[in-house]
Amino acid sequence: MSEITETIFSKIIRREIPADIVYEDELVLAFKDVNPQAPVHILVIPKEPIAKLADAESKDHALMGHLLLTAKRVAQQAGLENGYRVVINTGPDGGQTVYHLHLHILGGRQMKWPPG
Ligand code: DGP
């Protein structure tokens, strides 16, 4: 079950706080991360406030696909033709800090493995 979440990202969706928005449609929003961990660091979020990946349900099937395809679109738009990384931090052990589901798109440098 997805609890009702109100986070800083809800305020960005409603334009109550500023963000550098790079893509938007009726279902999702993409904007630059305020604390970038790579030369390109963009977040893609659903407008529906699903708290975390672990809360996604079967009804979110199409939305989850749309989030991934938006990550691809935004990475292309950012010129990341040499590759990039898509990350979803989930829950405390996953290092999630904002409880509104988001995909990190990281690029513009060589990524390391394993991540910390
Ligand atoms: P996570 O740790 O996976 O929950 O990532 C949350 C990310 O959100 C983190 O990289 C910083 C970013 N972030 C937090 N607050 C804001 C904000 O107000 N504006 C923007 N653009 N990014 C934010």
Tens of pLDDT along 58-77? 999 999 999 999 999 999 99
- Among 35, 50, 104, which residue has the most ligand 1 atoms within 8 Å of its CB, making it the best to mutate? 35
Instruction: Give per-residue pLDDT as tens, 71-101.
Output: 999 999 999 999 999 999 999 999 999 999 9
User: H-type helices in the chain, by residue range?
Assistant: 8-13, 61-77, 91-94
Round to the nearest angstrom and report the end-to-end CA distance of the chain: 29
Q: Decide: 19 in ligand 1 pocket, CB within 6 A.
A: yes
Ligand 1 centre distance from Cα of residue 34 (Å): 6
Provide the phi-psi class of 108: left if phi over 0, else alpha when psi is between -120 and 50, else beta: left
What pLDDT shows up at residue 2?
47
What pLDDT shows up at residue 1?
42
Query: What domains can you pick out in the chain, each with its CATH number?
Result: 8-107 (3.30.428.10)
Instruction: Give per-residue pLDDT as tens, 8-64.
Output: 999 999 999 999 999 999 999 999 999 999 999 999 999 999 999 999 999 999 999
Q: Is 102 a catalytic residue?
A: yes
pLDDT at 4 over 90: no
43 vs 21: CA distance, rounded Å: 9
Specify the pTM: 0.96
